[in-house]
Amino acid sequence: MTDATFTLFFWASLASLHHGFIKSDRRWFIIGGVFTGLCWNTKYHGFFPLLILGAWMIVIALRQARNQPVRARAMWSNWGLAALLAGLIYLPWFLFVQFSVGYGAILQAQVDHSIGQSAIILTSPATIYFYLTQWLSPALLLSALLGSIMILTRPRAEALFPLFATALFTIAAMFYTSFPRLLLPVVPGLCLSAAHGVERISRAKTLAWLLAAVTLAWNMMGAHRV
């Protein structure tokens, strides 16, 4: 239940923050900050949406900073507001932990499971793939791969950002002693990539749309029964 709740808040945060970035709308940054605060209260790495959007903004700024310096400053101001709201929402839990077990003990536990170990890569790509195959059908994984390739070959911001977020979260998981549930937030991103691939195929003017129908049927047949 905790991981499902975290995943919900994680993607709600990303969607709100990115929409605010695209539309230059502070209101969406405020909404994203609230969702991030709730996400942070669910798990200790709940601030990741802010880090991911921050990394995305740096990439965009490196390309556009000279052309739009005013917009860049406004966006970072909005990002800071979202971070402040998230921190304020997280503050009560931080104080509770600090005055009970001590926040230092929590941080030490996180270090012991990540940079505190001798190896750099603690969860291999093969392990991540094994975890994902426990939840997702081969058809969906193949569709996600196809969709990712299509996104990269014809990049659009609204499709590229979810792929960027999924990739960044997956890479971060490699530096931590991961367990299957930790990678649950990756699943919606893979599903979005898969949907993008199938949708692009279905719009083809040739009989390639049949491939989309076959892929959808294959996914339905391979889905786990609930």
Q: Please give the DSSP secondary-structure letter assigned to residue 123.
A: S
Can you read off the two tokens belonging to residue 172? Answer: 């971060």
Query: 142 in helix, strand or coil?
Result: helix
Which of 33, 45, 47 has the alpha carbon at shortest distance from 80?
A: 33
User: How do residues 140-180 score in pLDDT, each as one tens digit?
Assistant: 888 888 889 889 888 777 789 999 999 999 998 888 777 77
Per DSSP, 224 falls in state: P
Sign of torsion, CA 187 192 198 201?
A: negative
Rounded Cα distance, 30 and 148, in Å: 30
Closest CA to 44 of 107, 108, 138: 107
Task: Encode burial over 124-143: b for 16+ CB neighbours within 10 A, e otherwise.
Answer: eeebbeebbeeebbebbbbb
Contact at 8 Å (CB) between 33 and 88? no
How many CA atoms within 13 Å lie on the side-chain side of 166? 20
For 32-66, write each residue's pLDDT tens digit: 999 999 999 998 888 999 999 999 999 888 876 55
pLDDT computed for residue 125 by the predictor: 86
Predicted confidence band of residue 226 (pLDDT cuts 50, 70, 90) = very low
Look at 141 and 29; give whichever has higher pLDDT: 29
- pLDDT tens for each residue of 191-214: 899 888 777 776 766 555 555 556
